[in-house]
Structure formats: C-alpha cells, structure tokens
Structure 1
Amino acid sequence: MNYKIKTANVRQDFNGLYISIPVKKNLFMLLFFMLWLIGWCFAEYHAVTDFINENYKIDTFELCWLVGWTIGGLFVMKTILENLFAKEQLEIKDQQLCIKNAIFCLGVSERLTTHQITEIKLNPINPQKAQDKTGKILIITPEQTFKFAHSFSLEEAQCLIQLINQSAAPQK
C-alpha cells in the first residue's frame, strides 16, 4: 500500500514500512552559497595555478589559506548537495528500525530493534508560537533519542507516528 502524505513518500507492504522525506530547502542559503561558490572557484583556480607556476613552492600562509579555502569550498558543495538532494529515510522491516539521512542513497544509518523503542512522540519546534505548526518525530529508547522528519507539519507527523507505531508493534 502506497501513501502520499503531502511531502513524504510512504510505502507499506508485507515486507514492512518505508518512509522517505526530502529535506526542507533553504532557498536563500542555496542561492547565496551558489554565488559564493563562483568566487570560490575563481580564487581556488588562481591559487592552484600560482602554486604550479612557481614550481610548487609555497609559503606557510599561502599553504594554510589554500587548505582552509579548499575545505570551506568542499563544505559549501556538501551543503548545496544536501539542500538539493538529501532525504530522511525510515524503514521498519523484520522488527528492525533503520533511520538514515542520505544524499543519493549514501549516508549514515542508525539501526535498532523495535522492542528497544519505549516511546514515539511529536516534539513541536516552537510550542510558544501557535502559528508555527511544525515539529519533529522523536523515537525514544532507554539509551538514546533519535530524531526524524525535522520541520514536518504536525498533522502529517501525527499520521506518520500512527503508521510507525502500527509497524513497530510486535507481530502476533
């Protein structure tokens, strides 16, 4: 059975439950970083060509600047890719729950058995503001709390919590 909860792709069948949510896009940050990346490419190109043209001789300041500038550019590229293509994924299969933040299906996943879960609840992002109707799902175990569906609408999150509770319940 496939569900389409506005922003989430939910699939439930005899194998288990699969939920995929695209990460919320920050368009201002995306535009700023893309423009910044143009300047970064220009400066990186000139720093590397100067390094090569000077027969690979570089002083300490230029080396530190080049390394720092390269790391900063890689961080910005990663942030842009996350903003465009990242997804939060939750899968319940064979009494195992897996939460994964992935870019192009690559990412770090957290696994736990469903019997470890003590509570699944909704945590509003800003409970003081009534107009802010977003929150995140907390999956609580005795050792750790896992967060899923950041900045998700409260109504959709409640629906997802019901589906997760149904799938995580012990099979009779």
Structure 2
Amino acid sequence: MMENTEGRSTIEKIDGALQITIPAKRHPVVLIFIMAWFGGWAFGEFTALNMLIDFFNKKTAGVSMFVVFWLIAWTVAGFFVLKYILWMICGREIIKV
C-alpha cells in the first residue's frame, strides 16, 4: 500500500490494479446546518404521521389528499437528505484502474 502524504487520498495496488480511495469532502458548517434542518424535518414528519394515525383511529375528521401527498414527498426528500448526511460523514470514492 502506498500512501499519498500530500492529500487525502490513499493509493493501493491490489491484484495488479491501481486503486485510489478518496474520502468525501466534509464541510462542518454545512453538516451542522443540515443535521439541525433534519431535526425540524423529523418533527414535521412525525406530526403528519400522527395526523394520519389519528384519522385511521377515528379521532379526527378527514385528512386531505394534500397531507398524504406531502407526507410521501417529505419522506422521499428526507431519505435523500439522510443519504447526503451519511455521505458527508463516512462516504468515499473508489477509483480502480
């Protein structure tokens, strides 16, 4: 294994192929902001879920289709944000030549 002392990457020769591993760039301020935003996102998600659960338990009046659509879109967006957070914390690119 050869280490590049000038950068963040690691260069290895594995089974006759050259492998370069580059860790994801970390931006601490962006990461803190997105994690705080994700906390607010989770609050909105659980609030909408509680509305839906209360509707199915017959505790509240009808739930509009907007709430259902919003909950689906909010959940999908949350998965992308969670993926981005995990990428920033432990992601890496691997290039094999």
Would you call these one fold, judging by a TM-score over 0.5? yes
Q: How does 1:56-75 map to 2 (within 5 A)?
A: 58-75=63-80
Q: Which has the higher strand share?
A: 1
* TM-score, normalised via structure 1 length: 0.49
Q: Is the counterpart of residue 79 in structure 1 residue 80 in structure 2?
A: no
Residue 42 of structure 2 corresponds to residue 41 of structure 1: yes
Amino acid corresponding to residue 82 of structure 2 in structure 1: M
- Classify the secondary structure of the residue corresponding to 2:47: helix
* AA partner of residue 65 (structure 1): W
Q: Which amino acid aligns with 2:80?
A: F
CA-CA distance at 1:13 after TM superposition: 5.3
Q: Where do 5+ consecutive residues of structure 1 fail to align? A: 93-172
Aligned structure 1 segments of 4 or more residues deviating by more than 3 angstroms: none
Q: TM-score, normalised by structure 2?
A: 0.81
**Tell me, what secondary structure is at the counterpart of 2:26?**
coil
Structure 2: gaps of 5 or more residues: none
CA positional deviation for 1:59? 1.4
- Aligned pairs, number: 92
Q: Percent of aligned pairs with the same residue?
A: 30
Q: 1:71 is aligned with what amino acid?
A: V
Equivalence for 2:17: 16
The alpha carbon displacement at 1:14 in A equals: 5.4
1:14–1:53 Cα change, 3 Å: closer
Cα deviation, 1:36-94, whole Å, max 9, x if unaligned, reads 111111111111111011117531111121112112211110111111111111112xx
| Larger relative contact order (CA 8 Å, sep ≥ 6) | 2
